[in-house]
Amino acid sequence: MNLAAQFSRSGLDWIVPDWDVAATVQGFVTTRNGGAPQGEGSATTMGVDVGPSHPERADAAARAAILASRRFVAAFLPSPPVWLEQVHGRDVAVIDERTLDASRAAPRVADAVVTRLPGVPLSIRVADCLPVLFADAKGSVVGAAHAGWRGLAAGVLEATVVAMDVPADAIAAWIGPGIGPLAFEVRDDVRDTFLLHDRGTAAHFVPRSAGTWLADLPALARRRLAAIGVARVGGGGVCTYTDAGRFHSFRRDRTAARLGAFVWRQAP
């Protein structure tokens, strides 16, 4: 039974990417719905960012919800996932036979992860930032990146493609739920950061008021990928901020709750 059918039978509205990849590549993104206890945990939550860029810490109730949610999600995964300590940077963790056990025992400080190992789920946690999943045409390598505006500007997508070590034109990418272009208000400094790298990104910022802009994060991600030769990019049309019933949004709710995005490759 495929993942979409499993989710449907379980009454879950989790998202399975619609992308052009080998049948051996599997992935999904959780929503708020399914598999957690009452209270704050009545919504599925994959965890809290704990790196230096996100000093917030979950309280005891939230941590219990995180653990319950992760146990529930594990039923749909082939093995324990590799988690990251995400810090809005561009570092990529490469998971192989030498690093797998240590990476599962203690999350690596990175914002992207790549593996060629079969049956090893890679995970990204988001609540407005974009989860971007990657796979090559043969299904021999997969990757996942946490791409908020800081990570995008730092080059996390480009770094992920380099770490995959296959031609860029052989890679497909899929952009999961994130804050949409009608909700992501930023100030001049954010826009200026992108324009310093590429003046053409001005097209993805719409004036909002003096000194503020609405930024199209999925379009910025697509532009960065296209510039390095990744042309097959799906997704990017689902806004976390505007759909409170289905998605966590840090900008909207200011909580520790996160969605989880997962990708893995099965053995051929």
User: What is the 3-state composition of the chain as percent helix, strand, coil, each rounded to the nearest 5?
Assistant: 30, 25, 45
Residue written as tokens 């979950």?
58
Give the model confidence (pLDDT) of 84-131 as tens digits.
999 999 999 999 999 999 999 999 999 999 999 999 999 999 999 999
* β-strands 112-115, 92-95 pairing: parallel
Distance (Å, whole) CA 222 – CA 116: 24
94: helix, coil or strand?
strand
Token code pair at residue 69 = 């949610």
173 backbone dihedrals φ, ψ, rounded to 5°: -130, 155
The 8-class DSSP code of residue 187 comes to E
* β-strands 108-109, 25-29 pairing: unpaired
Give the model confidence (pLDDT) of 6-31 as tens digits.
999 999 999 999 999 999 999 999 99
Distance (Å, whole) CA 67 – CA 46: 8
Token code pair at residue 18 = 């619609």
* Tens digits of pLDDT across the chain (268 residues): 699 999 999 999 999 999 999 999 999 999 998 755 444 434 567 764 433 333 345 567 767 777 888 888 999 999 999 999 999 999 999 999 999 999 999 999 999 999 999 999 999 999 999 999 999 999 999 999 999 999 999 999 999 999 999 999 999 999 999 999 999 999 999 999 999 999 999 999 999 999 999 999 999 999 999 999 999 999 999 999 999 999 999 999 988 889 999 999 998 7
Q: Which CATH class is domain 3-180+231-265?
A: alpha beta
Distance (Å, whole) CA 126 – CA 131: 7
